Amino acid sequence: MDPRPHILLIYTGGTIGMIKDYATGSLKVFDFKGLTSNIPELNQLDCKIDSVSFDIPLDSSNMNPDYWVKIAELIEDNYSIYDGFVVLHGSDTMSYTASALGFMLENLSKPVIFTGSQLPIGDLRTDAKENLITSIQIAALQEGGKPVIQEVGLYFEYKLYRANRTTKINAEHFQAFNSPNYPPLAESGVHLKVYKEYLLKAKPSKKLKVHKNLNTDVAILKMFPGLNESVVKSVLGTPNLKALILETYGAGNAPTDEWLLNILKKAIAQNIHVINVTQCPGGSVIMGQYETSRALMQMQVINGKDITTEAAITKLMYLLGDKVSPKLFKTIFETSLRGEMQ
C-alpha cells in the first residue's frame, strides 16, 4: 500500500481543463490521464493523484443542481478510497456549486477543494498550474494521519477560502474570488500558511451523509429604486414558489411602501419563506437597526445575516429538499450549519 495521501481530481469542465491546439489555435479539452507528463511539477507533491472527468465537460454557465448531485455522488462513491478531493470547475458558477456541496456533504471530514482558472492550462501566462498544484497540495495536507482541511474550500490566486463564503468579483483579474465576511483559511506564498483557528472541525464519530434532494422552487428579487408592484406580484405569484431571497439595501433595508409590505405579508401567510440578504458585497443584515427594516422584522422575514446570495440560494434548495418543517425553517436557516454565516 502506498502510504502517501491519495487525491481524486474531478474535472467538470471550465477553462482550467482546456489547452490550446497550436496547429489550429483553438482550445480543446485537456487529457487528464496524461496529467503528470503535461505538468511534471506534480511529481514533486508527496501524494498519489487519480482523475475522473465528466463525459461531456460543462461550461459552468450550464451547471445546475443535477450536476451538483453528480459531483456529490462521485465523492460519496470514492470517499473511503481517497484522502481528499479537488474539483475543477468553471469560475462563473463555482461559488454556487461549492456552496451547494458544502450543504449536501453533511459530516464531511475530508477536504473537497474547488478550483479553476482564468486562462487555459496551456496558455503561456496561465494561472491554472498554480491553482491546480496548490489545490492538490492543500487537499493532501495531513497532521497525525488526519486531513488538515475537513470542509469544502475554494482555492484561487494564492488563497483558500471557505467555499460557502465566496463570491466571484472579477471576470478578468486572476484574483477572481473574494470572501468579504470571513478570512482566508490558508494563503500560499513562499510557504503555505494555514490559519487553523478559522477551520471547521469534523465530528469524528459522524459518518458522511450525502443529501441529494434539492428543491429549486426558489427565486431571487433584487431591490432597486423604481421596483414596481406588478414585478413583485409576478415573482411571488410564480407557481409552486417555496422561498424568495430578497436582496435588500445596506443592512437589510427595503422601501416602506404599503403595497410592498402587504405583498410580502401575504406571501409569508401563504408559507412562502422570505429571506433578507444584503446586496452589498460585504457586511451583514441587521433588521430593526433602521426604520426601513423594522417592518420586515415584525412580519418574521428570515434574517440572512452575513450570508452570500450564493450560499443563501443553495441553503434554501437544501433545506426545502430536506422537507424542513415550516415552523422550524426560520430558526434553522438563521443557524450556521456549515460555517456559512455568523
Catalytic residue, candidates 12, 15, 115, 278: 15
Angle between helix axes 258-269 and 229-236 (nearest 10 degrees) is 10
What is the DSSP-derived secondary structure letter of residue 249? B
Known catalytic residue at 15: yes
User: Please, are residues 221 and 245 in contact by the beta-carbon 8 Å criterion?
Assistant: yes
Beta strands in 131-234 (DSSP E): 142-143, 146-147, 152-156, 159-162, 167-168, 177-178, 186-188, 192-194, 209-210, 218-222
Is residue 237 packed enough to be buried (19+ CB in 10 Å), middle (13-18) or exposed (0-12)? exposed
User: Please, are residues 247 and 221 in contact by the beta-carbon 8 Å criterion?
Assistant: yes
The helix/strand/coil state of 319 is helix
Partner residues linked to 277 by β-bridges: 247
Taking 3-state DSSP, the helix, strand and coil percentages for the chain, each rounded to the nearest 5, stand at 30, 20, 45
Amino acid at residue number 245 = I
| Cell, residue 3 | 502510504
The Cα 288–Cα 209 span in angstroms is 37
Nearest to 116 by CA among 75, 62, 171: 171
Nearest to 163 by CA among 92, 105, 71, 99: 99
Which residues, including other chains, have CB under 8 Å from residue 100's CB and lie 6 or more apart? 65, 68, 214, 314, 317, 318
Nearest to 77 by CA among 207, 210, 206, 205: 210
Catalytic sites, residue numbers: 15
